[in-house]
Structure 1
């Protein structure tokens, strides 16, 4: 992929890889990472309870992919700001996306939380276990959203398809076989469907029964 879309894909994939651990490590108190939603010009971080439907309710924080200086937003900055916001009362917002409150974040107005020792340890381990690569794997995982107790929506960039493909998968299924078949399943156009309620993808593929 090339051009602005290709650059966005690489940055979304980088941010997603960096933040994955916080689906199990709390951001603050009982608040966990519940999703990373990709858009062309921004990244949306979804926070909420580890249990779907429990408190705290999901909140989506939006960060521009580029700062005022034109440089890409960094994952440590996003994490630090989300930690600060998750530790307090979510700012009031009249906007929503997919049924969740949407808060647009000005990073200059938020004091990022100081990295914890766990963050530093993860940084060392991640660097050694997942070294930097020039381009993300194909299909590139650009985001995800937990949609139920055992389901997750994966936002993937497929080389031949324009825009992102959202694949709905069940975590209690035959995951080894599904992951092996995923690249070819995403290219089967007869599986493609639209989801007007989700602005973060161009098409969806339902693999929850695969």
Structure 2
């Protein structure tokens, strides 16, 4: 993995870790965070209903990893923008990705929502409970997408490839055993399949029946 790609992976993993807590409560109204999709120069925040069968339909908002001054996107700012976008009117778009509307966001004209008291409390608790460590988990989790009531896709940075591996998993079943085996399973090249419908990964691994 080259240096530039490694920096992007580290930033995407940081953004993903920060946003995990915010999948459980609405960003605004009935709109939830449904995923974080990693691309080479941007991150795509997916919003939608907690139940895929009801409105609002999922939308992927693409936000650059760097601003005009080449400063890296911070997670609190990304969360603020996501809340503003979720609270606003439905965004029209001629582009799509994986069946979702794709909106490329002009951050110069977008005001981030202010952090709530719950955000501030999470910041304190997260800092004390999960302090920064020199060696982050491997493989790095660079994104995720809820794909059904009991399934999700995990985007993982695997050493054997410059792209990301997307692992499809079920949330029911032997999760403890799956999580323990996941690092080795996603590195087994014989499991890799090309998914032309998903531009956020180089290969997928189906672990839904594991």
TM-score under structure 2 normalisation? 0.97
Superposition deviation, residue 26 in structure 1: 1.1
**How do 1:46-125 residues align onto structure 2 when only pairs under 5 Å count?**
46-125=46-125
Paired position in structure 2 for 1:132:
132
Deviation at 1:38, TM superposition (A): 0.3
User: Quick one: distance in 2 between partners of 1:107 and 1:76?
Assistant: 14
Alignment of structure 1 residues 133-172 onto 2, 5 Å: 133-172=133-172
Shift of 1:90: 2.5
Give the unaligned 5+ runs of structure 2.
Answer: none
CA contact (8 A) 1:138 1:159 kept: no
How far did residue 2 of structure 1 move? 4.3
2:190 corresponds in structure 1 to 190
Cα deviation 1:36-86 (Å, max 9, x = unaligned): 000110000000011122111101111000000101011111111110110
1:135 CA displacement: 4.8
Q: Secondary structure at the match of 1:17?
A: helix
Deviations 1:139-195 (A, max 9, x none): 000000000110000000011222100000000020000000001111111111010
SS in structure 2 at match of 1:193: coil
- What is the alpha-carbon distance in structure 2 between the residues aligned to residue 170 and residue 3 of structure 1? 33
Q: Is the deviation greater in 84-93 or in 40-49?
A: 84-93
Listed as ranges, the gaps of 5+ residues in structure 1 are none
Aligned residues: CA RMSD: 1.0
Q: Find the residue that maps to 2:13 and give its secondary structure.
A: helix
Is contact 1:153–1:169 with CA below 8 Å preserved after alignment? yes
Q: In the aligned structure 2, how far is the partner of 1:153 from the partner of 1:17?
A: 15
Distance 1:146 1:157 in 2: 18
Question: How far apart are the structure 2 equivalents of 1:22 and 1:87?
Answer: 15
Q: Secondary structure at the match of 2:122?
A: helix
Alignment deviations for residues 92-148 of structure 1 (CA, whole Å, 9 cap, x no partner): 111111010111112121111010001101111111111123453100000000001
| Alignment partners' CA distance in 1, 2:132 and 2:106 | 28
